[in-house]
């Protein structure tokens, strides 16, 4: 009876919440996520976090060194560097997330469609992807943004987002296509065809949900790439323009002229870019390990 009682009274161990499991198994990824959340909150609540106006010019405080009044010093126009770094996070994260979402989503859909239909359609699509892959990311982005120019919608340069997202499409498409090719051969796809489902329904209801894991991994990883691309284009004068706060823009112009007299004009925006890219790379790598069943413990 004691054995029967033990079996009847046995309780399965409580299953930890997925977030808790992620933190325990991927502490570096959790640290990256915390950094991303802090940057996002600082960007969202920038008017309440910063004591200065990012556009306010103060000629009496030009090139002031870091102090209690200006923790990161001021630039050549007397603008508070810390304030512009925080407001610059708005530009970096907005462009980063939107460009990565557009590029990754378009690449995922193209990859699934290419894998599902195969044959000539797959050959044509992959040929177009090979052409895009032949161009370096920054060169392709430079070409597109130079051709399209600037197009502001609600304060966001739509053409800049398109220019940054286009180089992502073939890279995401290749990864998603590889996963979709394996899914296409599964029995439930043949059953859906036999049941008379349309190709559109099979693709979006049965195949797309099964490539979410690689899609999310690429989406997260390419936010860092998009932030770097935005900073590079703004540094070259083809991205965000003055007086908008942008990390890449803060590294160009007067910052290059006064780098010896006021090195903080370069150091702090550069650290912000490095921290953002590092945080997204940490989180993206940990997310890949967490979602990959071959690696996940």
What domains lie within the chain, and their CATH numbers? Answer: 29-291 (1.10.3720.10)
pLDDT at site 149: 73
Q: DSSP code of 203?
A: I
The confidence band for 278, taking pLDDT boundaries of 50, 70 and 90, is very high
pLDDT at site 8: 47
The confidence band for 188, taking pLDDT boundaries of 50, 70 and 90, is confident
Dihedral of CA 151/265/59/70: which sign? Answer: positive
Size of the chain, expressed as the number of residues it contains: 297
Would you say residue 1 has pLDDT above 80?
no
Q: For 38-52, what is the mean pLDDT?
A: 91
The token duo for 172 is 């995401």
Q: For 198-223, what is the mean pLDDT?
A: 85
pLDDT at site 203: 84
Q: For 273-293, what is the mean pLDDT?
A: 85
pLDDT at site 37: 93
* Ramachandran angles phi, psi of 271, nearest 5°: -65, -35
The confidence band for 16, taking pLDDT boundaries of 50, 70 and 90, is low
Apex 251 CA angle, 78 and 100, nearest 5: 120
pLDDT at site 5: 54
Exposure on the CB side of residue 295, measured as CA atoms within 13 A:
10
pLDDT at site 153: 66
Higher pLDDT, residue 41 or 206: 41
Q: For 136-153, what is the mean pLDDT?
A: 77
Would you say residue 255 has pLDDT above 80?
no
Q: For 192-219, what is the mean pLDDT?
A: 84
Q: For 149-154, what is the mean pLDDT?
A: 67
In angstroms, what CA-CA distances link 125 with 109, 115, 201, 285? 12, 10, 21, 28
The token duo for 101 is 């979402």
* Average of per-residue pLDDT values in the chain: 83
Write the pLDDT tens digit of every residue in 80-103: 999 999 999 998 999 999 999 999
The confidence band for 7, taking pLDDT boundaries of 50, 70 and 90, is very low
Compute how many other C-beta atoms are within 10 angstroms of the C-beta atom of residue 293. Answer: 6
**CA dist., res. 293 & res. 115, Å (int):** 22
Query: For residue 243, is the peptide bond before it cis, meaning its omega torsion is within 30 degrees of 0?
Result: yes
The confidence band for 136, taking pLDDT boundaries of 50, 70 and 90, is confident
Would you say residue 259 has pLDDT above 80?
no
Q: Which helix (H) or strand (E) holds 12?
A: none
Would you say residue 154 has pLDDT above 60?
no
Q: Which helix (H) or strand (E) holds 192?
A: helix 187-194
Taking phi over 0 as left and psi of -120 to 50 as alpha, with beta for the rest, 49 belongs to alpha
Would you say residue 296 has pLDDT above 60?
no
């Amino acid at each position: 009876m004691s054995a029967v009682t033990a079996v009847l009274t046995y309780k399965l161990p409580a299953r930890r919440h997925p977030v808790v499991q992620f933190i325990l198994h991927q502490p570096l990824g959790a640290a990256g996520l915390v950094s991303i959340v802090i940057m996002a909150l600082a960007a969202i609540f920038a008017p309440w976090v910063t004591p200065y106006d990012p556009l306010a010019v103060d000629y009496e405080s030009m090139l002031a060194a870091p102090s209690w009044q200006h923790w990161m010093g001021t630039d050549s126009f007397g603008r508070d560097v810390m304030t512009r770094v925080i407001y610059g996070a708005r530009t970096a994260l907005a462009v980063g997330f939107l460009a990565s979402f557009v590029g990754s989503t378009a690449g995922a859909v193209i990859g699934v469609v290419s894998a599902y239909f195969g044959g000539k359609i797959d050959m044509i699509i992959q040929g177009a992807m090979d052409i895009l892959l032949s161009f370096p990311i920054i060169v392709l982005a430079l070409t597109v943004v130079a051709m399209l120019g600037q197009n502001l919608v609600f304060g966001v340069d739509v053409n800049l987002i398109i220019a940054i997202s286009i180089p992502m499409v073939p890279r995401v498409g290749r990864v998603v296509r590889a996963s979709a090719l394996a899914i296409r051969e599964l029995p439930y796809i043949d059953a859906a065809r036999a049941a008379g489902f349309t190709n559109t329904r099979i693709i979006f209801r049965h195949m797309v949900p099964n490539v979410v894991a690689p899609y999310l991994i690429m989406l997260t990883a390419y936010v860092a790439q998009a932030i770097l691309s935005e900073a590079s284009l703004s540094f070259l004068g083809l991205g965000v323009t003055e007086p908008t706060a942008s990390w890449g823009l803060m590294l160009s112009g007067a910052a290059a002229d006064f780098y010896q007299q006021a090195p903080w004009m370069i150091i702090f925006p550069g650290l912000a870019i490095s921290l953002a890219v590092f945080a997204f790379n940490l989180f993206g790598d940990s997310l890949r390990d967490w979602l990959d069943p071959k690696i996940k413990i």
